[in-house]
Structure 1
Amino acid sequence: MKAIVQDRYGPPEALTLAEVDTPVPAPDEVLVRVEAAALNAYDWHIVRGDPRMSRLSFGRSRPRARIRGRDFAGRVEAVGAHVREVRPGDAVFGDLGDANGAFAEYVCVPATLVAPKPANLTPQQAAALPLAGVTALMGLADVGQVQAGQRVLVNGASGGVGTLAVQLATALGATVTGVCSTRNVDLVRSLGADHVVDYTREDFTRDARRHDLVFDLVGNRSLTALRRALTPTGTLVLSGGGVYGGGSLLGPVWLLARGQLLAPLVRQRIVALATTPSRQHLDTLRAHAEAGRLTPVIDRTYPLHEVPRALRYLEGEHARAKVVITI
C-alpha cells in the first residue's frame, strides 16, 4: 500500500510517499481502508521533533512510528478474531493515538478506538473530528464541567480544536466568547459564539468580562494574564500544543508545567489537559454531530502524496479549522 513515512526529524519535506506492506490486524484490531485523514498540530510536532524534549517519548533519533497521521475515517476491511463490535463494510472513524499510521491507504487500529461514522458527515468531516473533538470535549465537559448559563472563553477559537469547542460549549448551554484574528471573526460568530474578540484589536485578558472557564488552545499568554480573565473561582484549561515558531527545548510544555506547579497555590482551578482517545468520547461526538450540534469546518483538502505541502500550509498560513487528506 501507499503511505506517508518519516525516517528522520526535519521539515515537512522529511516526509515521503512510499510503498509499504499492508498491515494485518491482530486479534483485537480492525483493518480500515482509509478514505480521509486529518492533520493536527500533533503531526507537526512529531515531524519536527519539536519541542526537543518530546523526542524522549516520540523517539530520540527518529519517530518510533514510521507512518504519520492519527485521525482517520474509512471502511472496515477485515477484523481480528476477537472483534465483535464492528464488521467488514462498516463506516468508522477514530484516533490512533501515539501509534500513528493514518496517512496511508490502510491502517490497523484497536477495535476500542473506532466508532461508527456520524451518518450525516462525509468521510472528510468525520476524519476531522477525533483528536480535535475529544480535546474539546474533555476540556469542556470532563475537566471543565461546563454547565448551562456559565461563561466560557475559547482562546484560539478558529483552529481545529477551537471551532469544535465553540460549538460544544454552545451545545452545553454556555455563553461563549471566541478569540481569533480579524479574518476569522465571522466564522467564529457563525459557529455560535455570543461574543467574538479580535485579538489584533483587543486584549481579552484586559477586558472587564470575567469567565467561569478559559480554554487556552494557543499558549501565547502568561498564566497571570489568563487568570485575569477568570472569575475568582473559575477554571483555566491549558491545551496550548499548537504550531508555533519551533526550535525550543520545551515549547508550550513549559506553560503547562508552570500551570501545574501554580495550581495548588491558588483558588482558581488550573488544569493541563491530557487527551486520550476512547470509544466513549467518539460516541459522544457522533451523537452531537448527528443531532446537528457539531459540524467540523474544513479549510482545505489535499491528496495523500501532498501531505508535506498540507503540513507546510498548516505551519505557515495560520490555517483555520481543519486540513484534511483525501485517500
Structure 2
Amino acid sequence: MKAVICTKYGPPEVLQIMEIAKPFPGPNELLVKILATTVHIGDTKIRRLEPGLGKFKDFFIKPLMRLVIGFNGPRKKILGMEFSGEVEAVGKDVTHFKVGDPVFASTEFKFGTYAQYLCINENGVVAIRPTNMTHEEAAPVSNGGITALIHLRKSNIREGQKVLIYGASGSVGTYAIQIAKNYGAEVTAVCSTSNLQLVKSLGADKVIDYTKEDFTQNGESYDVIYDAVGKIEPIKRKISLNKMGRYLNVFSASGNIKLKAEDLYHLKELCESGKLKTVIDRVYPLEEIVEAHRYVDKGHKKGNVVIKIDHNDNLSQFHKSKGNFPLSS
C-alpha cells in the first residue's frame, strides 16, 4: 500500500511516499480502506516539531515533545489524525461494525491516516459516516468538529450567551460557529477581511475584521471567548470576558480532553439534520501531500485541507521500500 513516511522533523519535503506492507486487523480491529484524510495545523506542528505557543513556552515544550513523539523524528512514521473510509475487513471479535460500513474516525496521537489502509480498534473514536456527507466532507468532522464540540461544551455554553470565536474561518473555528449556534448562543466571529462572508454564511450573528478592529476595544463583553487558533495575546485574553466568563485556547484546552465515539455520533446527527457542514478550502491527492503541507504552513487556509486517497496500483513514480520500513521506533 501507499503511505506517507516522516523519518525526521523539518519542512514539508521530509514527507516521502513509499510502498509498505498492508496491515492486518487484530481480534478487535477494523481494517479500513482510507478514502480521505486531512492536513491541519496539528499535523504540521508535529512535522516541524514546533509547538507554536511562543518562544518562551516552546523552549520548554520542545524537549517534552521529543520524549513523547520521538527524539530525532516521529516514532510513528505515518502522520495524520483523522479519516473517512470503508471497512474492508474485521477481526474475529468485532461486533459493532461489518465489512462495507462507511466510517469516519479520529486516531488522535496514534496517527497513521496518511496511508491507503489503517487498522483501528472498534472501540476507538470511530463511527458510521454521516449519510449526507462525502468522505472528503466527513473526515475533518472527526477532529476539527469534535474538538470544537468538546471545548464549547467544556465552557458550559448555554442558550442566550454571547460567544466570541477568534480564528473563526479555520477548521475548528468554522465548526465552532455552527455548534455554538446550535446551543442557542449569539456568535461573534473574528477573522480576516476575505473570510467575513464565509463566517456569516455559517451563522455568525456579528463579524469582526481583525485587520481593522481590535475586539477588546469595542466595549463588548462575552460569556465565552474561544481562541480557535491560539493567537490571542495573553494580556488581552480576559479584557472582554464577563465576570464569570470562560476563555478557552484550542491548544491548551486540548491537553486533557478525551475524545469519544458517542461525540462523533452526536456530530453525525447534526450533520444529517443540516445543522453542521464542512468547509473545504482545497483537496489534494495523496501524491501532493508535500504541497498540501506547504499550503497549511502558510496559516491562511479557510476551513479544511483534505487529502483524497485513491487505490490504484501505479506506484512507479514513487520511491518503493521493501515492505519492512520501520514505522515505529
1:326 aligns with 2:308: yes
**Which residue of 138, 160, 164 corresponds with 2:150?**
138
AA matched with 2:119 = C
**Which residue of 291, 295, 298 corresponds with 1:313?**
295
Cα shift at 1:149 = 0.5
AA matched with 1:201 = K
2:138 alignment partner in structure 1: 126
Instruction: Please give the per-residue CA displacement for 1:225-259, whole angstroms capped at 9, x wherever unaligned.
Output: 120111011011111x4xxxxxxxxxxxxxx4xxx
**Which residue of 40, 62, 83 corresponds with 1:72?**
83
Cα shift at 1:25 = 1.1
Cα shift at 1:219 = 2.3
1:262 alignment partner in structure 2: none
Instruction: Check 1:73–1:272 CA distance in 2 against 1; reply closer, same or farther (3 A cut).
Output: closer
Q: How does 1:93-112 map to 2 (within 5 A)?
A: 93-112=104-123
Cα shift at 1:102 = 0.7
2:26 alignment partner in structure 1: 26
Match of 2:237, SS state, is helix
AA matched with 2:283 = T
**Which residue of 83, 104, 114 corresponds with 2:126?**
114
What is the identity percentage for the equivalent residue pairs of Structure 1 and Structure 2?
A: 41
AA matched with 2:267 = L
1:159 alignment partner in structure 2: 170
AA matched with 2:296 = L
* Alpha-carbon distance between aligned partners in 2 of 1:233 and 1:90, rounded to the nearest angstrom: 45
| TM-score where L is the length of structure 1 | 0.88
Structure 2, unaligned stretches of length 5 or more?
Answer: 52-61, 310-329
1:183 aligns with 2:194: yes
Cα shift at 1:128 = 1.4
Cα shift at 1:223 = 2.8
Match of 2:143, SS state, is helix
| TM-score where L is the length of structure 2 | 0.88
* Alpha-carbon distance between aligned partners in 2 of 1:98 and 1:276, rounded to the nearest angstrom: 12
Cα shift at 1:104 = 0.8
1:228 alignment partner in structure 2: 239
Instruction: Check 1:132–1:167 CA distance in 2 against 1; reply closer, same or farther (3 A cut).
Output: same
* Alpha-carbon distance between aligned partners in 2 of 1:41 and 1:287, rounded to the nearest angstrom: 26
Poorly superposed stretches of 4+, deviation over 6 Å? none
- Whether the aligned pair in 2 keeps the contact of 1:97 and 1:276 (CA below 8 Å) is no
AA matched with 2:266 = T
* Alpha-carbon distance between aligned partners in 2 of 1:216 and 1:32, rounded to the nearest angstrom: 34
Match of 2:159, SS state, is coil
Match of 1:128, SS state, is helix
AA matched with 2:126 = V
- Whether the aligned pair in 2 keeps the contact of 1:134 and 1:275 (CA below 8 Å) is no
1:88 alignment partner in structure 2: 99
AA matched with 1:186 = Q
1:42 alignment partner in structure 2: 42
* Alpha-carbon distance between aligned partners in 1 of 2:15 and 2:256, rounded to the nearest angstrom: 27
Match of 2:283, SS state, is strand
Match of 1:85, SS state, is coil
Instruction: Please give the per-residue CA displacement for 1:61-119, whole angstroms capped at 9, x wherever unaligned.
Output: 11011111111000000111221000000000001111111111111111122100000
- Whether the aligned pair in 2 keeps the contact of 1:3 and 1:67 (CA below 8 Å) is yes
Structure 1, unaligned stretches of length 5 or more?
Answer: 242-255, 257-270
Cα shift at 1:273 = 5.5
1:286 aligns with 2:286: no
